[in-house]
Amino acid sequence: MLLLLLTACRVGHYNGLKPYEGDKEPVLKPIFEDRYNSYLFKANIKLYTKSFSGLLLTKQTEQGTYRVIFTTEMGMKLFDFEINQEETIVHYSVPQFDRPLFMKTIQKDMELLLMNGLKNKTPEIFKDKEGRLVHKFSTGEEANYYFQEEDLMRIEHTENNKQKIVFTLDNHINGFSENISIQHYGFRLKIDLTNLKKS
C-alpha cells in the first residue's frame, strides 16, 4: 500500500505541471559555466552500507568534454573518467568502484549535473505549483526535469514517470550551488558535494 501511495505521489507531481505561457522563452542556466573552469568539491559517497570520503574534481578540458576525478584527501585516485557528447571513457577505477552498475550510475549522475549534450535539445517548459520554471528533456521513456527559480534548485531524473534520481542544489553564491545532494531511488547510493574551490 505504501509503495502504491509513493508511486501515485510521484506521478501526480508531474501531472500538476502547467505549460509555460510567457512571451519570452526562458533560458536554462548551466550549473557549471562553459569557460573551461575546474571545480573542487568535498565529496561523501554512501554506497549500500559503505561510505567513502574524498575530493571530487570536475574540469572542462575542451568544448563539451569534461574530466571527473575522485580522490582520497591524501590524493590517492579512486576513479577517473571523461565525459564527452558521444561517450564516457573510464581512465581508472579502484576495484571497489570497478563495477558496471556503479560506474554507469555515477557517470549518469555527472552527465545530468554537467548538463552535457543539452545545448542542441529543445525542452518542454512548464511551471509547477510553487511557480518554478521546469525544463523537461525527454528521451524515450526517460525524462530529466530541471526546476529553476532565479537559480537552478533541483533536478529530477525519471523512468516511466517515476523518480529515479533527485538532485538538490542549495546555498547559491553568485549563481552557483555550494551544496549538491544526489539521492537515488531503487539503488542505495547517495552523494553529497560541498564546493571548496573554483578556478
Mean pLDDT of successive 10-residue segments in the chain (199 residues)?
Answer: 42 77 83 75 92 92 89 92 87 90 90 82 90 92 92 92 92 86 92 85
Rounded to two decimals, the pTM is 0.86
| Cell (9 digits) for 20 | 509555460
- Residue 8: predicted pLDDT: 38
Separation between Cα atoms, residue 18 and residue 102, nearest integer Å = 35
In this structure, is the dihedral angle defined by the CA atoms of residues 35, 39, 167 and 143, taken in order, positive or negative?
Answer: positive
Q: How many secondary structure helices (H) and strands (E) does the chain include?
A: 2, 13
Separation between Cα atoms, residue 61 and residue 183, nearest integer Å = 27
Separation between Cα atoms, residue 86 and residue 113, nearest integer Å = 16
- C-alpha pair distances (Å), 127 with each of 4, 21, 111, 122, 156: 26, 9, 24, 16, 15
- Residue 198: predicted pLDDT: 66
Coil, strand or helix at 165: strand
- Residue 183: predicted pLDDT: 96
